[in-house]
Structure 1
Amino acid sequence: MFSERALSPCRFFLVAVLILLSFPGAAMSAELSASPLAESLRERLQGPSEAEGASVKMAMAGEFFQAPAMVLRFYEQRAFQPVWVDDDGPLRSMHALMQTLREADRHGLNPTMYHLSALDALLTSIGQDRGSDTMSAMAKAVDLELLLTDAFFLYGDHVLHGRLHPETLGDVWFGDHSQAEVDLVQVLHEAVETNQLQAMLENLHPAHPAYKGLLRARAQYREIAAQGGWSSISEGAKLQKGDRDRRVAALRSRLLVTGDLAPDSAPGDDLFDEAVEQAVRRFQQRHGLEVDGIVGPATVAALNVPVKARLRQIEVNMERWRWLPGQLGERAILVNIPAFGLEVVERGQPVLTMRVVVGRPTRRTPLLSADMSYLVFNPHWYVPPNIAVQDKLPLLRKDPGYAARQRFKIFRRGAGDATPIDPSAIDWSAVNAQHFPYRLRQDPGPSNALGRVKFMFPNPFHVYLHDTPSRALFAKPERAFSSGCIRVEKPLELAEYLLGETGAWSRERMRAVLDTKKEHTVWLPTPIPVYLFYGTAWMNAEGAVEFRQDLYDHDKALEQQLQGMLPPPRDGNNLNIAMRY
């Protein structure tokens, strides 16, 4: 507090300067004289809506704001000085923003979400009123200024975080690895000050190479769509090398469109020759099908997916990348569920890849991110209650010797692991889903469901990576067989990589520990982030676009929600955009 003594002129000046520097709006007020437009902005924003707490029902030109609190904060910090229009009309910054909004579909976004219809109508009306000095013209300029700012914040939020909250789609949890928060108010201040608005908005998009690949893939498939797409292949008998069939000519044309068949191939030839077989193999490889060069029902079904459906598939995958942080970490483990694959990535480049088995559609592997902090050699398997009842109880009823052969021990629930119960002493016919007072634990050994090692990253779904004795499953093209956890093809290679920085864990030492058949926990020197991701479209290292089946119907659900998102409502009664303000 200041004393009650009068301040000297010098001290008064210093205090005034400090006060101005403490409040950005006040400092700007000292530098800029208030224009009529700025005064109108102040009156509009600090009128009834401020008393209502910057209600989301604040409307301009009949459209309701989606980010009213951010709009108010932005203008308060710059003393209500406009950024898109001035007393003489629109500024260059407005044209830069409008161009970005019109090109939003390049990133799979819907341009109509960003007030474009109202903005175009306002610009037309303002142009017709040019030269007039009416209150109506000023009101339109204020509407234009504020709607543009709201559009900037809405577009920026969609670019940074996606149009939907991933948690609304079910088994999704990104914990501490969700997208970092960015102050879009500060971004707009910097964009205005540096005159780099388009570049700064472009930099908000995901920087990961996978997203940029999807951007290129979308441009490629939009060009195919603009040229008419492709024709369907008629159903019929399988086609393979040596066949002569009128459908082969259609097959050639179809494979030419997506670059699987070389352009110099005879397009009207009805012979299934070596070139066609190799093109079919390339197509099958790109779509995760069995690569046999034979056009059967599964290959025909993939060939006949329309180009517009492939574009929508690319767009929903672009949306998912907006849910992840801009940087996945110096090192990370990425599991792509529909691709049945795992990559260990260092500085954006894969250093270890392997096949995986994921959850079946009735027992889905969740989408999540968490830090892997330890691994366990020779793990016990504590059978989850649902698996004990649904999978193991029928086997225990049918075969009393099953538990002993598979090295299961049975304990009374709540009694600890001290005293196992003899399976033969249990009347299994009296045990059911409603009455199952037991816990099952499988000891380490060749038949253990977790194999020789499990990799732990604590999460709400209690899933993890692990080895498996069922090695033959890795040879199948589609590998959705687990109960939710992820079985890995190369568990010892993964363990060796994770423990490599210690310098103390050679492959020989790991095998020595495994030979003891005793459980052994090893904490990682540095936790590594794990991302269980759902990617059904991406561009591979050779520049070809790959697609996968929508294993859990996640694409379908996300596409339906995105298509159901309407442009900003004009009556304020159906705000359907989940924002973070």
Structure 2
Amino acid sequence: MRKGWKSGGSAIALTLLLPGISLAEGRAELPRAPLESEIPLDWAAPAIPHAPAPAMAEPPAPMPLDWQAPDISAEIADEKTRSRIESIFLAGTAPAMEAGRLEAITAFYAARQYRPLWSENGAWSDNATAAFDRIAKAADDGLDPAAYKLPAPPSKDADTLALADIELSAAVVAYATEAEGGRIEPRSISPLLTAKPEKPDAGEVLDKVSGARDVAGVLDSFNPSHDGFRKLRVKLAELRRTAKTHETLPVVEKGKLIRPGMQDPRVPVLRARLGLPTAQDTTYDSALADAVREFQRSKGLNDEAVVGNLTITALNEEISADPVADILVNMERWRWLPRDLGRRHVFVNIPEFHAWVMEDGSAIHDTRVVVGTPANQTPVFSDAIQFLIVNPYWNVPYSIASKEMLPRLQQDPTYLARQGIEVVHVRGNRRRVLDSTAIDWNNVSLKGLYFRQPPGERNALGNIKFMFPNEHAVYLHDTPSRSLFGRSSRAFSHGCVRVEDPFALAEVLLGVENGWSKEKVKRLIGGSERRINLKTPVPVHLAYFTAFVDDGNTLKTHKDIYGHDSRMRAALGLAGH
């Protein structure tokens, strides 16, 4: 950027237009040259504002020699500018600009002595053109280009030129904010969505683009770099390019079970739905069985290749679904995750009823899990596993004690005793175990009382739990209810995540190289609680993805067990998409 802008008319116009900047009334004048005694050794005369522009296809007309900022009071300029700039940030689905972001833009311009960032000699710079082009492609990123109000081409009028420069900066910040932090505040969808999306600082955004040779590349870098996001973005472009819709897919009629080797008139429809070569043969062959198994696995169903009503329902749900909306909703969810998931981390996908331990981008361990019911949902957030407890007590949450256990006790005072659950009275630092069968549960307050289940075979947490203290008091743990892992849909818990083989998970997290084999951890079973600290906390991400693209570039979907998708569609303006 040429130094002449510092003392030229547009710099003064920027000073007038930025909130909080005031000048005395009257025409703004160019600064006087310093006296000889004031001239520092490295002083250079400012460039003349009407110096010729660099060679362009259609060079702008030169500025008039007497061109100056218009006579406009700072108060009016503040009001106009703030209104115009705030409208940019409020144009999206949700406000992308938080308190202080407008002030950060003001501070950025102040730090550069109010020189324009995007214009040169009254015309947009190459960087401005690159910013326009990249933001115009925001739909490719799963964003809404209409949310970023791009300014009209600049004119030679100084205040219009200055305002356009600031508006483009505001649009760049708004795009970067939504590209990195998303368009929706997770808690606005559900109080159990407590992920904390990272949002860039406005000043840092402008610092990055101001010194960039590749402005488009800098803006693209604010989008998630996760492989799952990138695959969804590619699939989104493919669907839009080919105008491929779900409306042409045939419906599979419900009826009797279809097993491999059987003949059934619905077999040709199944072949068409699962992408196999069309044929009129009604024999359920091995190729179709493999395709059915793969589909069932993608939906969390038993992969026995037997086509029953659950499989047919899952197939037909894809017809009523909107794949573009599914992709947009799940691209938004990737923005809620930390950019750095951790070199080694635990990833739980709630609708898939599955968890993985990832290391350097590859799965080194995976396991089935049981998650919360729709009434007791597993929350969505990121944390870090800090320690394990073998032989854990189960301290019953107050919500379960009051809503579920108390009504049963009022009908049957022996209920807790039969479950092996103790009633503990707390008074100050004193704790006393009470005889639950001697309490009149119809006339008692739970204040000062809590229920706990000692370690043992009947303990609801099983033999081990993985702790990452959080506001929801949830964690990963073992369970005595082993049969539930054989179910296709595994939403049965009160919100915690039950792990099918917790001791295998413990071995992976603690590390055999550190002396913690699966067998060694198991030898601690029995007796009192045993705490094992992890040398390095392992990030854990409880996520909710209902759509993803597999390695074969096929879009896979899972049932929206908690109804988050529909609320997100409405928030993103996709309800009728």
Band of TM-score, shorter chain: 0.7 to 0.9
User: Which residue number corresponds to residue 550 of structure 1?
Assistant: 560
Identify the residue that residue 369 of structure 1 maps to in structure 2. 382
Higher mean C-alpha deviation, range 162-171 or range 501-510: 501-510
Q: How does 1:164-179 map to 2 (within 5 A)?
A: 164-172=184-192, 178-179=196-197
Q: From 249, 271, 274, give the equivalent of 1:255.
A: 274
| Structure 2: distance between partners of 1:313 and 1:331 | 28
Select 2:289's aligned residue among 277, 283, 291. Answer: 277
- One-letter amino acid of the structure 2 residue matched with residue 211 of structure 1: F
CA deviation after TM superposition for structure 1 residue 369, in Å: 1.8
Q: Work out whether 1:95 is the aligned partner of 2:133.
A: no
The TM-score, its normalising length taken from structure 1, stands at 0.78
Give the secondary structure class of the aligned counterpart of 1:55.
Answer: helix
The 1:68–1:238 alpha-carbon spacing in structure 2 relative to 1, beyond 3 Å, is farther
Query: 1:306 Cα deviation (Å)?
Result: 3.9
CA contact (8 A) 2:246 2:322 kept: no
Q: Of 211, 220, 236, which aligns to 1:218?
A: 236
Name 2:311's counterpart in structure 1: 299
Deviations 1:223-277 (A, max 9, x none): 5534775324053424624566665444333322xxxx2xxx2355555443333
Specify the SS of the correspondent of 2:535: strand
2:365 aligned with 1:352, yes or no? Answer: yes
Distance 1:293 1:513 in 2: 41
Distance 1:473 1:546 in 2: 24
- Between the aligned partners of 1:134 and 1:378, the Cα distance in structure 2 is 76
Closer/same/farther in 2, CA of residues 212 and 404 from structure 1, 3 Å limit: same
Q: What amino acid does structure 1 have at the position aligned with 2:349?
A: N
Higher relative contact order (CA 8 A, sep 6+): 1
Q: Match for 1:539: what amino acid? A: V
SS in 1 for 2:211: helix
**C-alpha separation between the residues in 2 aligned to 1:449 and 1:247?**
44
Structure 2 CA distance for partners of 1:142 and 1:527, relative to 1, 3 Å: same
After TM superposition, give the deviation of residue 469 of structure 1 in Å: 0.4
Equivalent residue letter for 2:231: G
Amino acid at match of 2:40: F
Contact 1:224 1:307 in 2 (8 A): no
1:321: how far off?
1.3
Counterpart position of 2:74: 47
Letter in 2 for 1:48: E
Distance 2:485 2:72 in 1: 62
Residue ranges of structure 2 left out of the alignment (5+ in a row): 1-34, 51-62
Q: Give the 3 Å change call, closer, same or farther, for CA 316–41 of structure 1 in structure 2.
A: farther
Deviates more, 1:301-310 or 1:363-372: 301-310
Moved more, 96-105 or 296-305: 296-305
1:449 aligns to what? 460
Provide the C-alpha distance between the structure 1 equivalents of 2:518 and 2:86, rounded to a whole number of angstroms.
66
Identity %: 33
Could you give the per-residue CA deviations for residues 398-442 of structure 1, whole angstroms, max 9, x where no partner exists?
5555444432222235477743222332234x257x667642221
Give the 3 Å change call, closer, same or farther, for CA 383–76 of structure 1 in structure 2: same
Which residue matches 1:162?
182
Deviations 1:136-164 (A, max 9, x none): xx666555434332221111111111112
Partner residue in 1 for 2:31: none
1:514 aligns with 2:514: no
- Does 397-406 or 373-382 show the bigger shift? 397-406
**Matches for 1:382-531 after TM superposition, within 5 Å:** 382-396=395-409, 401-414=414-427, 418-428=431-441, 430-431=442-443, 438-500=449-511, 503-515=514-526, 517-531=527-541
What SS is found at the alignment partner of 1:514?
coil
Following superposition of structure 1 onto structure 2, how do residues 12-161 of structure 1 map, counting pairs within 5 Å? 13=40, 33-34=48-49, 47-48=74-75, 51=78, 55-58=82-85, 68-87=102-121, 89-115=123-149, 119=151, 122-123=152-153, 135=157, 141-142=161-162, 144-161=164-181
What is the RMSD of the two structures over their aligned residues, measured on CA atoms? 3.8
1:284 and 1:148, CA in 2 relative to 1: closer, same or farther beyond 3 A? Answer: same
Deviation of 1:172 after TM superposition, in Å, equals 4.5
CA distance in 1, matches of 2:71, 2:563: 46
d(CA) in 2 for partners of 1:267, 1:43: 76
Paired with 1:168 and 1:555, the residues of 2 have a C-alpha distance of 13
- Look up the SS of the partner of 1:441 in the other structure: strand
Q: CA deviation at 1:291?
A: 2.5
**TM-score by structure 2 length?**
0.78
Do the aligned partners of 2:272 and 2:278 also contact (CA within 8 Å) in 1? no
1:185-204 map, 5 Å: 185-204=203-222
Instruction: Name the CA distance, whole Å, in 1 between partners of 2:207 and 2:499.
Output: 48
Aligned to 2:331: 318
Give 1:58 shift.
4.4
Alignment CA distance shift 1:98-1:202 (3 Å): same
Check 1:448–1:69 CA distance in 2 against 1; reply closer, same or farther (3 A cut).
same
Change (3 A) 1:290 1:221: farther
1:424 and 1:381 map into 2 onto residues whose CA distance is 20
Comparing 188-197 with 553-562, which one deviates more in the overlay? 188-197
Residue identity in the other structure for 2:509: L
How far, CA to CA, are the matches of 2:554 and 2:68 in structure 1?
51
The equivalent position to 1:208 in structure 2, one of 217, 223, 226, is 226
Q: CA deviation at 1:470?
A: 0.4
Distance 1:33 1:318, change over 3 A: farther
Q: CA deviation at 1:222?
A: 3.4
Distance 1:416 1:489, change over 3 A: farther
Report the equivalent of 1:26: none
AA aligned to 1:525 is K
Amino acid in the other structure paired with 2:344? R
CA contact 2:426–2:432 (8 Å) conserved in 1: no
Equivalent position SS for 1:194: coil
User: What do residues 324-360 of structure 1 show as CA deviations (whole Å, max 9, x unaligned)?
Assistant: 2211122222211111111122223222211111110
Residues 483 and 562 of structure 1, relative CA distance in 2, 3 Å threshold: same
Whole-angstrom distance in 1 between the partners of 2:264 and 2:520: 60
Is 1:538 matched up with 2:548? yes
Consecutive unaligned residues in structure 1, runs of 5 or more = 1-7, 18-28, 127-132, 566-581
Alpha carbons 2:226, 2:339 under 8 Å: kept: yes
CA contact (8 A) 1:396 1:403 kept: yes
Partner SS state of residue 336, structure 2: coil
Kept in 1, the 8 Å contact 2:345–2:357? The answer is: yes
